[in-house]
């Protein structure tokens, strides 16, 4: 059985991966659940789009790291200043792994 601590660690790690992807200049600061799903697979995370959408909504509501928008069945996200500051180490957002902790 997977412990709650491990589930929390995975959620926080995935949130950081999402923010790092959004901060990558190639993303243009935005992405969607399909692209996030493919990105997470590089780290051996097999997560549903519903799970990813919930993580995006969690970050929007609890930290302001992203802004989300529903587009049909797809959810897209845009990186905010708070999210960029977290990725670049200028500010820590609770509930998202600190860059360097996951590497």
Query: How many domains does the chain fold into?
Result: 1
Q: Do the domain assignments include residue 92?
A: no
In a domain, 25, yes or no: yes
Question: Residue 15 falls within a domain, yes or no?
Answer: yes
- Evaluate whether residue 98 is within a structural domain: no
What is the CATH classification number for the domain harbouring 15? Answer: 1.10.10.10
Task: State residue 102's pLDDT score.
Answer: 54
Report how far residue 67's alpha carbon sits from residue 69's, in angstroms, rounded to the nearest whole number.
7
pLDDT tens digits, 68-96: 999 888 999 999 999 999 999 999 999 99
Does the pLDDT value for residue 103 go beyond 70?
Answer: no
Contact between 103 and 36 under an 8 Å Cβ cutoff? The reply is no
Dump pLDDT digits (tens) for 28-72. Answer: 999 999 999 999 999 999 999 999 999 999 999 999 999 999 988
pLDDT at 7 over 60: yes
Question: Which residues have CB under 8 Å from 102's CB, separation 6+?
Answer: 13, 16, 17
The whole-number pLDDT of residue 98 equals: 94
Instruction: Say if 94 falls within a structural domain.
Output: no
Q: Which domain holds residue 36?
A: 4-87
What strands lie across the sheet with 74-79, from one edge to the other? 30-32, 74-79, 66-71
């Amino acid at each position: 059985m997977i412990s709650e601590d491990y589930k929390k660690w995975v959620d926080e790690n995935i949130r950081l991966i999402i923010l790092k992807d959004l901060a990558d200049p190639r993303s243009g600061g935005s992405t969607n659940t399909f692209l996030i799903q493919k990105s997470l697979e590089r780290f051996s995370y097999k997560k549903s789009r519903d799970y990813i959408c919930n993580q995006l909504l969690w970050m929007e509501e609890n930290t302001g790291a992203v802004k989300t928008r529903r587009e049909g069945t797809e959810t897209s996200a845009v990186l905010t200043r708070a999210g960029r500051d977290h990725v670049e180490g200028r500010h820590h957002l609770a509930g998202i792994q600190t860059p360097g902790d996951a590497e």
